[in-house]
Amino acid sequence: MEKPIVLVIMDGVGKGDGGPGDAVKVANTPTLDWLIANCPHTYLKAHGTAVGLPTDEDMGNSEVGHNALGCGQIYSQGAKLVGESIESGALYASETWKDLIANAKNGKALHFLGLLSDGNVHSNIHHLIAMLREAHKEGVKRVYCHILLDGRDVPATSALEYVAQLEDVLKELNTEGCDYAIASGGGRMKITMDRYEANWPMVEAGWR
């Protein structure tokens, strides 16, 4: 007899070390305890290369975890996908990139807007640096970065390090006739990168 299969995702529930900081172990979970004791089960990794992220040091999140479970296989996601397209040159061969460069070389400025960190959840600063170098290589004279400081996927005060790193690269690229600079900045939460309240006017206020 055919029976239905139900996929239930419990965000934040995982197998811990059983110590006092193991919230699932400390909690009262009679149903989960019964299932583990009486039903066949196994454990899946929810971070790093197991879910298609660049390294095993990269933490997972609901998005990549849901994607991995939904497709039933490991495939490159997020930062790893972008990194591979940069390394292979596919990004720079795309029509979108070509149009951006052509527009910038026709008297316009090229603008980059994004999260400045190496958290590898929503961004990696090395991707921005790679695109800045490529734009310079292709003859773009004016590039302006509109940076969103992280403090969520990376330590709270780490923005100072990322800004310093970016400024060093911009200084290097500011050869004769070039203007590469940080043009604006702000935080990520509740405004430009709000995804919890789904409040588009707030997001728009940030990027404008």
Whole-number Cα distances in Å, 67 to 15, 40, 78, 133:
20, 24, 11, 32
Token pair, residue 144, equals: 């302006």
Q: How many CB atoms lie within 10 A of CB 148?
A: 24
Contact assessment for residue 184 and residue 151, using Cβ atoms and an 8 Å cutoff: no
Whole-number Cα distances in Å, 12 to 52, 61, 109, 131:
19, 9, 43, 35
Q: Tell me the backbone φ, ψ of residue 120, rounded to 5 degrees.
A: 65, 15
Number of residues that make up the chain: 208
Examine the residue annotation and report whether 158 is marked as an active-site residue of this protein: no
User: Which one of 62, 88, 94, 184 is the catalytic residue?
Assistant: 62
Active site residues: 62
